[in-house]
Amino acid sequence: MTVQLLAGQLLLGLINGSFYALLSMGLAIIFGLMNVVNFAHGAQYMIGAFTAWFLLTNFGVPYWAALVIAPLIVAALAMIMERLLLRPLSNLDHLYGLLATYAIALIVEGLVRQRYGATGIPYDSPIKGGIHLGFMFLPWYRLWVVVFSIVTCVGTWFLIEKTRLGAYLRAANEMPQIVESFGINVPKMITLTYGFGAGLAALSGVLAAPIYQVSPSMGSNVMIVVFAIVVIGGMGSISGAIITGYLLGIVEGLTKIVYPEGANMVVFVFMAAALMWRPDGMMKSN
Amino acid sequence: MSETALKSSAATAPAMLSVENLHAWYAESKVLHGINFDVREGELLTLIGRNGAGKTTTLRAIMGILQKRTGSIRINGDELIGKRTFEIARKGIAYCPEERAIFSSLSVRENLLLPPVLKPGGLTEEEVFEIFPNLLRRASSQGTKLSGGEQQMLALARILRTGSRLLLLDEPSEGLAPVVVKEIGEMILKIKARGYTVLLVEQNLRFARKVADRHVVIENGAVADILTAEEVERAPERIQSYLGV
Ligand SMILES: Nc1ncnc2c1ncn2[C@@H]1O[C@H](COP(=O)(O)OP(=O)(O)OP(=O)(O)O)[C@@H](O)[C@H]1O
Ligand SMILES: [Mg+2]
């Protein structure tokens, strides 16, 4: 194998890893506070991309504005969904939350397919051109995705692990009633957190639109891998989700060189190994 | 101010918390059957009674953690029945639960600083560490790595900063060695000397007698008797008979 090939796959892995990291981080945040495995995450990602495309084709809203507007719209919808659907289920077994979000995912994906068809719709890249690195041509847009996702992940990690707000989230996960007895409106905090997680998914969707095209199944395709990543990183661990997201993106890229047929399943091999080796996830302390 | 001076001023102070005809349920099972008592401003009142009498349930009903309740609970005249837990807390009531509820994902200092300051008039971090000097030494440990006594102190310490003037304390002496119980008792007296009003759940009569102005005896989810500290000192048999000691 050549150095060029290696470096090229590393970079491609990093780009895929950017999406894995953003999506698994959102899942981990939601799971960490609500103990709900948010199966609607893929649909929220897809709706983020569709919203950006819809805003552009119907109202001429450019990518950069959609990057802000689409996550806000999806977050608002998600918060309504949390209040109407997830909150009434929150006292029951967490399996009900999982099933409810899965149902939403199937319905949303079905409706979008019905309306817009199953084929991918291209979305023009907002940044043209790129740079010849010698081993490959790197479009500027992909560089932007990598940088932006790293900044978003680090910023979110900081918010949750290092600030007062994050301490409330972690504490509310342990003992919500005690946190509420300190005068904190925990139900509202849960709604906002779900909205934030869904907004992150939509943000990833907008980022993805120019790279992977916009299609109804884009969410469910990527989420299978992302769920595996969250399991490997430790359910609910923010740093675990981020690091595992990037690492497995890269591992997947490298597998394409040594054993291309295995690239699609290498993540699941890791997941199985992680479940056997450390069922709690790699990043969980104690 | 001497202890007796504190006691006599509390004896004439207006009611800060009044509980009237409080009934409460866990799902279908009724546990409280018409509880009545007042806590006066600056007073330390105990709820005393045997296991399962309904003491914890009374605190949980006041705090709104138990939502199924009827009757009236007023703080400074404001009705709390029908209010949510966070709204009740914002009226100036702080709760220290029986299980202490120290967060394992947070350090001692993070646990201490977690409750937000809701009103002016709470202690500063320095003042809290003056009352609980050993917490300062363990400030960066993980919260649940502390001993039982230290966890109890942390649970007390963290509600003093919030500005809430009424403290609901559920059996702070439970499960602790006698020397630690004594220490906690001294800390509670210091807290009281700072002007806090305290509703203290206890089973340990010796401990309760050291700190309380009045005792409300709870039996089978109702108030069996209300005794002042003086009455208990004069005739301790009376309260002992309720507790079966
Ligand atoms: N979660 C619950 N569900 C149903 N019943 C409960 C629950 N918690 C307590 N009870 C019942 O309510 C009654 C009063 O309990 P409570 O915890 O208030 O007693 P307590 O006076 O605090 O006792 P202790 O001194 O043992 O703490 C008991 O009969 C108890 O069995
Ligand atoms: Mg109790």
Which pLDDT value is given to residue A285?
Answer: 42
B60 close to ligand 1 (CB < 6 Angstrom): no
Which pLDDT value is given to residue B48?
Answer: 96
Query: For residues B31 and B56, what is the distance between their CA atoms, to the nearest angstrom?
Result: 11
- Cross-chain residue pair B114–A177, CB shorter than 8 Å: no
Closest partner residue to B85 among A164, A175, A177, by Cβ? A177
Which pLDDT value is given to residue A50?
Answer: 97
Q: Is residue A117 part of a domain?
A: yes
Q: Is residue A283 part of a domain?
A: no
Closest partner residue to A183 among B65, B104, B116, by Cβ? B116
Domains of chain B and CATH, by start: 3-12+41-67+93-243 (3.40.50.300)
Which pLDDT value is given to residue B122?
Answer: 93
Q: Kindly state the tokens that stand for B34.
A: 């018409």
Q: Is residue A284 part of a domain?
A: no
Nearest-CA distance A146 → chain B (Å): 31
A72, A140, B110 from A158: Cα distances, Å: 21, 27, 16
B175 close to ligand 1 (CB < 6 Angstrom): no
What percent helix, strand, coil does chain A show, rounded to 5?
Answer: 75, 5, 20
DSSP, res A83: I
- Give me the number of domains chain A comprises: 1
Q: List, run by run, the mean pLDDT of 10-residue segments along chain A (286 residues).
A: 82 94 95 91 98 97 97 98 94 90 96 94 94 87 96 96 90 94 96 97 98 95 92 86 95 90 88 82 50
Cβ–Cβ pairs < 8 A, chains A and B: 54
Which conformational region is residue B173 in: left (phi greater than 0), alpha (psi within -120 to 50 degrees), or beta? alpha
Domain extent for A118:
3-277
> Does residue B160 contact residue B122 with C-beta atoms inside 8 Å?
yes
Query: For residues B226 and B209, what is the distance between their CA atoms, to the nearest angstrom?
Result: 14
Rounded to two decimals, the pTM is 0.88
Query: For residues A106 and A102, what is the distance between their CA atoms, to the nearest angstrom?
Result: 6
Give the DSSP per-residue string, A10-69: HHHHHHHHHHHHHHHHHHHHHHHHH----TTHHHHHHHHHHHHHHHHHHH---HHHHHHH
Which chain B residue has the Cα nearest residue A188? B86
Domain with residue A233: its CATH number is: 1.10.3470
Q: Is residue A286 part of a domain?
A: no
B152 close to ligand 1 (CB < 6 Angstrom): no
Amino acid type, A250: I
Determine what percent of chain B is predicted with pLDDT higher than 90. 88
Q: Is residue A101 part of a domain?
A: yes
Q: Is residue A285 part of a domain?
A: no
Which pLDDT value is given to residue B2?
Answer: 46
Which pLDDT value is given to residue B10?
Answer: 62
Which residue in A165, A279, A15, A55 sits closest to B113, CA to CA? A165
User: What was the ipTM of the complex prediction?
Assistant: 0.91
Ligand nearest to the CA of B97: 2
Stretches where chain B sits below pLDDT 50 are 1-5
Q: For ligand 1, atom 28, which residue shows the shortest CA distance?
A: B52
